[in-house]
Structure 1
Amino acid sequence: MKQQTTRANYKHFLPLQTRWADNDIYGHVNNVAYYSYFDTIVNEYLIASGALDIHEGAVIGLVVETGCKYFAPLEFPQKLDGALRVARIGNSSVRYELAIFKQGDDAPAAEGHFVHVYVDRETRRPASLPADLRSALEKIVA
Structure 2
Amino acid sequence: MARPTPEARTAYPYHHPTPTRWADNDVYGHVNNVIYYAYFDTAVNAYLAARGALDVQGGAVIGLVVETGCAFFAPATFPETLGVGVRVAHLGRSSVRYELAVFREGEDAACAQGHFVHVYVDRETRRPTELPAAFRAALEDLRVG
Same fold (TM over 0.5): yes
Contact 2:70 2:112 in 1 (8 A): yes
Once the two structures are TM-superposed, the CA of residue 4 in structure 1 deviates from its matched residue by: 2.4
Match of 1:15 in 2: 17
Give every structure 1 segment of 4 or more consecutive aligned residues whose post-TM-superposition deviation is greater than 3 Å.
Answer: none
Alignment partners' CA distance in 1, 2:5 and 2:32: 22
Q: TM-score, normalised by structure 2?
A: 0.95
Listed one character per residue, the Cα deviations across residues 77-102 of structure 1 (whole Å, up to 9, x for unaligned) are 11211110000000000000000000
1:65 aligns with 2:48: no
Root-mean-square deviation (Å): 1.1
Listed one character per residue, the Cα deviations across residues 91-122 of structure 1 (whole Å, up to 9, x for unaligned) are 00000000000011100100010000000000
Counterpart residue identity of residue 66, structure 1: T
Match of 2:119 in 1: 117
Listed one character per residue, the Cα deviations across residues 53-81 of structure 1 (whole Å, up to 9, x for unaligned) are 11111110000000000000111111211
Where does 1:16-95 land on structure 2 (aligned, <5 Å)? Answer: 16-95=18-97
Listed one character per residue, the Cα deviations across residues 33-62 of structure 1 (whole Å, up to 9, x for unaligned) are 000000000000000000111111111000
SS of match in other structure, 1:133: helix
Percent identity of equivalent pairs: 63
Once the two structures are TM-superposed, the CA of residue 2 in structure 1 deviates from its matched residue by: 5.0
1:102 aligns with 2:117: no
Counterpart residue identity of residue 108, structure 2: D
SS of match in other structure, 2:100: strand
Q: Between Structure 1 and Structure 2, how many residues are aligned?
A: 142
SS of match in other structure, 1:84: strand
Structure 1 runs not aligned, ≥5 long: none
Contact 2:84 2:100 in 1 (8 A): yes
Query: Which of 124, 130, 133 in structure 1 is aligned with 2:132?
Result: 130
Match of 1:6 in 2: 8
* 1:2–1:73 Cα change, 3 Å: closer
SS of match in other structure, 1:44: helix
SS of match in other structure, 2:53: coil
